[in-house]
């Protein structure tokens, strides 16, 4: 696109690693030199940026339902300094439970691993809770704030007979997905995740968007903003499709037989 690092563009990075306490300080550091545009990945990153500036353009990715969350007033024509690309609506949480139930029909209890400090996670938790009775499933909310809590919450979920695990993805769980998926397998609990990357590291099944696609899409918006396009002319965009990934090796280890119709729906199948 004509941008060359060190010649006509400068990048500054901050990574919170799932620690929300770091984010306000990082937001302040990034905004201090008044950058031309900021990319925010996840609601945890977007929230302190929104609170800190109403003028510097912000392009977000990996955020669920930004209208309901209060980040933007509408999708078609943002009238603030924020636009971007969503991961979908909160109802996706209920769909994740539905997919898990189809893959592991004996489940009658689902533990939902979520980040209580992220409003989108709380809303998605409610979506799971709303759908669960129609599937004959009880639910338990399992908050996760720190890396060292991963083993504890998975083991707690595994103590429930006929239990399953719904993992609402966060920076923390994504960063430590190998540890999380390994612990779920060791605990013999069927689990569903939000992104394919969990399944490629041993997770059972995922249902959601392509997490890397948002970065590619955001690149085009950032390029246009740097070249003078008004942010109000860049609508918030929603996913056009969702993908499912299934790990057959993990399914066999858990004693599960993947239904042929579910297998046919999968975009990625790992042997």
Q: Convert the pLDDT of each residue in 172-231 to its tens digit.
A: 899 999 999 999 999 999 999 999 999 999 999 999 999 889 999 999 999 999 999 999
Residue 156: predicted pLDDT: 95
Percent of the chain with pLDDT over 70: 100
Sign of CA dihedral 242, 164, 171, 123: positive
Q: Which residues pair with 205 in a beta bridge?
A: 192, 246
Q: Do domains 20-88+211-233 and 92-209+243-270 have the same CATH topology?
A: yes
**Distances from the Cα of 40 to the Cαs of 50, 111, 173, 242, in angstroms?**
10, 29, 18, 22
Look at the domain 20-88+211-233 and name its fold: Rossmann fold (3.40.50)
Residue 263: predicted pLDDT: 94
Residue 16: predicted pLDDT: 86
SS3 state at 154: helix
Q: What is the pLDDT of residues 23-63, one digit of tens each?
A: 999 999 999 999 999 999 988 899 999 999 999 999 999 99
Look at the domain 92-209+243-270 and name its fold: Rossmann fold (3.40.50)
Contact 242, 208 (CB under 8 A): yes
Contact 142, 153 (CB under 8 A): yes
Residues whose CB is less than 8 angstroms from the CB of residue 269 and which lie 6 or more positions away in sequence, other chains included: 245, 246, 248, 263
Residues whose CB is less than 8 angstroms from the CB of residue 186 and which lie 6 or more positions away in sequence, other chains included: none
Residues whose CB is less than 8 angstroms from the CB of residue 195 and which lie 6 or more positions away in sequence, other chains included: 169, 174, 206, 208, 209, 210, 211
Residue 29: predicted pLDDT: 97
Distance CA 29, CA 217 (A): 25
Q: Can you give 4-39 as a three-state secondary structure string?
A: CECCCECCCCCCCCCCHHHHHHHHHHHHCCCCCCEE
Neighbours of 64 (CB within 10 A): 27
Backbone angles phi, psi at 79, to 5 degrees: -110, 15
Residue 5: predicted pLDDT: 93
Query: How far does Cα 8 stand from its chain's mean position?
Result: 32
Residue 79: predicted pLDDT: 76
**What are the extents of the domains in the chain?**
20-88+211-233, 92-209+243-270
End-to-end CA distance of the chain: 38
Distance CA 160, CA 27 (A): 40
Residues whose CB is less than 8 angstroms from the CB of residue 189 and which lie 6 or more positions away in sequence, other chains included: 154, 157, 158, 163, 164, 165
Sheet strand arrangement including 38-41: 38-41, 58-64, 82-88
Contact 61, 215 (CB under 8 A): yes
Backbone angles phi, psi at 184, to 5 degrees: -65, -40
Residue 19: predicted pLDDT: 82
Q: What is the pLDDT of residues 234-248, one digit of tens each?
A: 999 999 889 999 999
Model pTM score:
0.88
């Amino acid at each position: 696109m004509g941008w060359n690092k060190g010649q006509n563009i400068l990048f500054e990075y901050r990574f919170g690693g799932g620690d929300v306490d770091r984010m306000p300080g990082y937001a302040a550091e990034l905004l201090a030199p008044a950058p031309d545009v900021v990319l925010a990945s996840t609601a945890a990153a977007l929230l302190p940026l929104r609170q800190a500036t109403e003028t510097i353009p912000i392009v977000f990715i990996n955020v669920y339902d930004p209208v309901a969350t209060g980040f933007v007033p509408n999708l078609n024509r943002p009238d603030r300094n924020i636009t971007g690309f969503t991961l979908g609506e909160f109802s996706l949480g209920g769909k994740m439970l539905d997919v898990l139930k189809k893959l592991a029909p004996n489940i009658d209890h689902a533990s939902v691993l979520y980040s209580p400090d992220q409003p989108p996670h709380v809303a998605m938790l409610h979506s799971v809770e709303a759908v669960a009775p129609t599937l004959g499933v009880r639910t338990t909310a399992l908050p996760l704030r720190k890396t060292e809590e991963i083993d504890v919450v998975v083991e707690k979920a595994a103590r429930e007979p006929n239990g399953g695990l719904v993992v609402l993805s966060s920076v923390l769980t994504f960063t430590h997905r190998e540890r999380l998926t390994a612990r779920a397998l060791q605990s013999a609990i069927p689990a569903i995740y939000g992104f394919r990357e969990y399944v490629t590291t041993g997770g059972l099944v995922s249902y959601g968007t392509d997490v890397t696609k948002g970065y590619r899409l955001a690149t085009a918006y950032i390029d246009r903003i740097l070249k003078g396009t008004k942010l109000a002319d860049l609508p918030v965009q929603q996913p056009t499709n969702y993908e499912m990934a299934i790990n057959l090796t993990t399914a066999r280890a858990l004693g599960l037989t993947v239904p042929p119709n579910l297998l046919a729906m999968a975009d990625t199948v790992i042997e």
